[in-house]
Amino acid sequence: MDTIILEELKKVKFTKNYYRANVSGVDQEKTDRLGRCVGNPCLSYTFGLVRPRNKSNLQLSRITQKYMDLYNLLLKYMKQNHPDFVFKSITINKNIICQPHFDKNNKSDSLAVAFGDYTEGGELVVGDVEYNIKNNAIIFNGRNNIHYSKPFSGGDRYSLIFYNL
């Protein structure tokens, strides 16, 4: 199933996301110019349920509706591999080296797994412990534990984080 997931991930047309400053780092020049926090551009989408800005209710993200086959495949992956893990949202990052951060909006544990043709690096560091998450999921508490990813090389890396808002 990992190969099928990777093929579906490659079909996603990512656009630059400037709203993940906690992960991508702050673009200080744009932040100063615009008077609001602007992140460095990164390739990242959230599938499943999201909380739209200035609203309290959760709704299915537009990107989920556009790539419903991928979303259903990820639901099947979780049902087969981690049937007891409860989540509402999936963040998919492409080729991001995440800065150290906490997931302040997560309500419970996260599950992280990476897919791709990268050949070296890309470990997830939680606290001071490194985990190889390539085709190998781990569960961790991103709300209470600082975490980040290490540099990688040799190809594309898609990291998937399953969690509850």
Among 18-22, 96-100, 115-119, 137-141, name the one with the lowest average pLDDT. Answer: 18-22
Global pTM reads 0.91
* Neighbour-count burial for 16-36, b at 16+ CB within 10 Å, e otherwise: ebeebbbbbeebeeeeeeeee
**pLDDT tens column, 70-112:** 999 999 999 999 999 999 999 999 999 999 999 988 999 999 9
